[in-house]
Amino acid sequence: MAASSSTGSATEPPGLETQWREIDNLNQQQLRAGDSWYLLDKRWYDQWKEYVHAGDQNSSSYPGKIDNTELYEDLDSYHLKERLSENEDFVLVPAEAWHKLLSWYDMMDNQPPLERKVVDLPSTVKVEVYPVEIYLCLSSNMESTVSACFSRADKIHAIHQKIRQHFNVSETAESRLWMRSTDTSSERLRNLNMTILDSCLSSGMTVIMEIRNADGTWPTSRPQIMRNSADEDSYRGPPGVCGLTNLGNTCFMNSALQCLSNTPPLTEYFLRNSYLEELNFTNPLGMKGEIAEAYADVIKQMWSGRHYSVVPRVFKTKVGHFASQFLGYQQHDSQELLSFLLDGLHEDLNRVKKKEYIELRDADGRPDQEVAEEAWRNHLRRNDSVIVDTFHGLFKSTLVCPECNKVSVTFDPFCYLSVPLPVSKERVMEVFYVSLDPTAKPTQYRLIVPKAGRVIDLCTSLSQATGVPPNQMAVADVFNHRFYRIYQADESLSCILDRDDIFVGCVDQDGEEVVMAIYMRERSHYRDYGSGSNNYGTSLFGHPLLMSVPRAQCTREDLYQLLLKRLAPSSEGEEKAEEEESSSEPDRGSSTEEGQSACGSTDTNSQDATDGDQSAGVEPSGKEEEDEDEDEEEEEEAASCAQANKRLPGRRRNTEKQKKALFTIQAVNSNGTTDRNVPALNGMTHCFCLAQPYIAIDWDPDMKKKYYNENEAEKYIKHQSMDVPHQQITVQLQECIELFTTVETLEEENPWYCPTCKKHQLATKKLDLWSLPEVLIIHLKRFSYTKYSREKLDTIVEFPLRDLDFSGFLLKKTVNSTEPPCRYDLISVSNHFGGLRDGHYTSYARNKDNGQWYYFDDSKVTYAREEQITSAVYLLFYQRQDKIRQPTVPPPVPSSSQPENHVSSQTHDGMDGASSCVSMETD
């Protein structure tokens, strides 16, 4: 007999025996995670069993409608009673059994079915009788909450949809969820596909939905915006025309971000929120979706049209967290940042959740088409993302063993092309030449030398300009008033950096003369009694000298006279000293005093006062200052000078008595410090015959001030070669691409293992382009790093803005008209100005909406014309012509009548030459 109710009419049930057999069979099935089971009141179920076993459809044991009243706490909320027991208070039946019973007997009015999910817990699989009760609210009104019950097997997506439905949140509004376990602690629920069980949500907790602001920010991260003016909330500008604040040497990051921001397919992917469905939180090679989310936040803000500039601090922090090389605020390479970011976005958005192992196969003579298609299929089996869709292409790699001629062909994917620049075999070097003429000032020359040459080649080039034989030249690197290094003729020029101060002096290297290194030192006014010595401290100053001295004139007296001549151009001479001495001092008869006046003060110096003379601001160059031991210097005995004077002729001795020496001479080590390893000077006849003599000229401060003109000593003459502008090399972009596809021999550090020879070989390698992506990134390898040097190539690269044709470079020729063309138009570039350590990055980009070009210099954005795109390009972004859309809005017209702080006409200082541009200054 069937009963009816307002919930619907029951269908005619089968026979009682059939009912029992069907329900009993269904109840035998195993629990499977995710399946639905239903609670039935135990008394109703027992009565139903009695009824079907009685075999009489008119029996008084007929159960009637399904009634779970005894299981509810009340009939208003229909909350389940606490601590109900299975097989005492209720029984569980699988979904199919429940639906059969419901169709046969119907259910009491308004009672909800008690559906429960099977959950796979760490130790068992069971039906979840008591679900998780969670409070739901919006971040804009957290006082208004509603409760909802969810299975632990439900995904966070179910909570997300429940909040949308209850609070009428638009499906197009981008939102994110936060889990709040206490009043002060909240955690992001990033993965909507994670179960409630795995997310550690429990009853009583609150889930908050946060909705992204119209300006691209989140309510919880409002400080992301650089508030340039009080009315920024009302600012409306072209979407994407937005600066990025420099956080401290982050121009490299800003430049790369602007280029990617103006890559249409990638930016539209994020603006459409397509990334939300493809975030990969389980990829061990990824970053748990955090890089993709941080990048999305920056793009949303930049393209909201509501900001002059955005502060990418959170993004910078995320990058440093996952790539320690970008921690801190040192200058970095924009290409390195771009490479990391593209790889990070790819892995965070990889549609392949579980990568399978694929063994790569060599071509083994198979047709290129077959091998290429196989390689691309294998690539997509492990890598499938918007980055692959947009930036990945395929090139062919051919290796040939030089010994057995084994040919290995593989096809490999690429994300960007790093193309070399033609490198000149010559090098421009600037040196200071110091002649033997004591009256001649140093002369600066600009020389052309072989890039792979040796020091003798530099001397030969300088010889052509000076007429001095190369074998009579000594080449030294001067750093911090010292000779940092004196080079041998056969040393490689690669160990001399462009920033080094190179001095070349005339010397006689035939063995009859000694080459001496002369340092200039100034004594302090006071003795250093505190160090346990009564000696004077000294500090280096000025340029050191290289002098060739006849071995017969290596005595102290002869050196003094030679140095007087050598310093004549910058000293007022001994004559003035003599005049002042004779007019101010009486004649002294002591032979000891005579010795002192001739030789100078007998006080010696124990240390080089490095604390006050080190150049703390000098850039690191491998010339790190070594700690200098402050060794004691043996005092000279006045008697030794006096004894030497006794051997002088009478007239000369009387003359010497009237003179006061301008300086004293000390033997020192290569750092300009006197130590125990250097023999003390014992009198005027001491001979300086060390392997590499280093001599210090010590000046008393008062004498130096009177008789030494430091400004005059620092002066030099520029040779006419310095006026000849350095001719930069100009090449076409196509030439760089041709170099990329040129055969080369592998370096010794990176040999290839030949499977035939069974050993590593320096094989020849050739790369060829097979297929190209929608957006082609070309990296110009401007920075050259070798074992001895680092340099930037300032080669001018001319590149087309439109119609860059790759048909001549592709091995895979167009087979039919359905294949995409291979012509590209420029959409953005990253520039690098300056050198290796003082460089600056900017960018040009074409706005995808209005087609207008803009110049991005950190937080400053200006209008730009195509012809202003400079030759300082480092990265070029090209988009295939068939994918470029026409502007959807008309380009803005620069006008000087626009209001302040908006786009207005003015000259932009960052451009090469004067140009009328438009500036949005935010600093």
Active-site amino acid positions: 251, 840
Give the HSE-up count for residue 81: Cα atoms under 13 Å, Cβ half-sphere: 16
Residue 437 backbone dihedrals phi, psi, to 5 degrees: -65, 115
For residue 743, the 8-state DSSP code is -
Give the C-alpha separation, 760 to 746, whole Å.
11
- Please name which of 636, 693, 633, 695 lies closest in space to residue 666, comparing C-alpha atoms: 695
Q: What is the 3-state secondary structure (H, E, C) of 514-563?
A: EEEEEEEEEEEEEECHHHCCCCEEEEECCCCEEEEEEHHHCCHHHHHHHH
Burial class from Cβ neighbours inside 10 Å (0-12, 13-18, 19+) for residue 882 reads: exposed
CB 539 within 8 A of CB 524: yes
- Enumerate residues 6+ apart whose C-beta is below 8 A from 50: 61
What is the Cα–Cα distance from 775 to 877, expressed in whole angstroms?
Answer: 7
Q: What would the two tokens of residue 663 be?
A: 């300086």
Q: What contacts 573, CB < 8 A, 6 or more positions away? A: 564, 707
The pair phi, psi for residue 770, each rounded to 5°, is -110, -50
Q: How far apart are CA 579 and CA 565, in angstroms?
A: 18
**Do the beta carbons of residue 549 and residue 658 sit within 8 Å?**
no
The CA distance from 443 to 173, in Å, is 71
- Length, in residues, of the chain: 923
Whole-number Cα distances in Å, 586 to 590, 661, 700: 12, 17, 22
In angstroms, the CA 393 to CA 774 distance is: 9
Three-class SS state of 103:
helix
| Cβ neighbours, 10 Å, residue 32 | 10
What secondary structure letter does DSSP report for 867? Answer: G
Asked if 284 and 354 touch (Cβ cutoff 8 Å), the reply is: no
Three-class DSSP category at 810? strand
Smallest Cα–Cα separation from 664: which of 548, 549, 564, 553? 564
Going by their DSSP bridges, the two strands 860-864 and 125-127 should be labelled as unpaired
Instruction: Find, among 497, 335, 493, the residue nearest to 426 by Cα.
Output: 493
Q: Cα separation of 596 and 603, whole Å?
A: 10
Between CA 89 and CA 555 the distance in angstroms is 116
Question: What values do phi and psi take at 862, rounded to 5?
Answer: -135, 155
Reduced to 3 states (helix: H, G, I; strand: E, B; else coil), residue 796 is strand
Query: What backbone torsions phi and psi does residue 600 show, to the nearest 5 degrees?
Result: 95, -175
3-state SS string for 371-426: HHHHHHHHHHHHCCCHHHHHHCEEEEEEEECCCCCCEEEEEEEECCEEECCCCCCE
Terminus-to-terminus CA distance in the chain, angstroms? Answer: 84
DSSP letter, residue 625: P
Task: For residue 318, count other CB atoms closer than 10 A to its CB.
Answer: 21
Secondary structure tally for the chain: helices H, strands E: 20, 45
Q: Which residues pair with 536 in a beta bridge?
A: 527, 605
